Amino acid sequence: MRAGLTGQETRDVIAFLVASNKPQRKSIFDKQAVKTSGTVGKLDGRAVYNQTCIACHGGDGKGTLPGAPNFTSSKGPLSKSDAVLIKHITEGFQSPGSPMAMPAKGGNTDLTVEDMRAVLAYLRKQFGK
């Protein structure tokens, strides 16, 4: 064990670093289309999640890395207000006791406020209780 990590913890850290260091694509939203329509399509939140969040939070919302919160838990992050969650997404967040922190904007510097609102709506619909 190097650095006090088990083999699985080491593989988890490597998987996270590999996923975090992939070149960032531009935001999936066409900014002009969002401005013109005034609403975000119902599939956009899913696309944001699949592009930016799924590597750590998993397809089932239960988290794939140590410390990634479980969106399906009734006491999990979805029990917080959208304002708190937008702040966590914007600034990054480390859950108490978690060995790793979520980077600001999930590591996607092109993430917009509209993207964040869309992904929160998706999370609440998909995993909320």
Q: What is the CATH number of the domain that holds 12?
A: 1.10.760.10
> How far apart are alpha carbons 114 and 11 in whole angstroms?
33
89 part of a folded domain: yes
Counting the structural domains of the chain, the total is 1
Where does residue 73 rank: exposed (0-12), middle (13-18), buried (19+ CB within 10 A)?
middle
The answer to whether residue 76 is domain-embedded is yes
| Closest to 71 measured CA to CA, from 87, 86, 58, 55 | 58
Residue 53 has pLDDT above 90, yes or no: yes
Residue 1 lies in a domain: no
The one-letter amino acid code at 59 reads: G
**Can you give the pTM of this predicted structure?**
0.66
| Among 122, 47, 41, residue whose Cα is nearest residue 78 | 122
Q: Which of 69, 109, 99 is nearest to 85 (CA)?
A: 69
Tell me whether residue 72 is exposed, middle or buried, using C-beta atoms within 10 angstroms of its C-beta: 0 to 12, 13 to 18, 19 or more. middle
Q: Does some domain include residue 15?
A: yes
pLDDT at 52: 93
- Parent domain of 98: 7-127
Count of CB atoms situated within 10 Å of the CB of 112: 17
Q: What is the pLDDT of residues 10-32, one digit of tens each?
A: 788 777 777 766 655 554 444 44
- Tens-place pLDDT, residues 70-120: 999 999 999 999 999 999 999 999 988 888 899 999 999 989 999 999 999
Structural domain includes residue 64: yes
* 88 in a structural domain: yes
In a domain? residue 2? no
Domain contains 39: yes
Residues in contact with 125: Cβ distance below 8 Å, sequence separation at least 6, in sequence order: 45
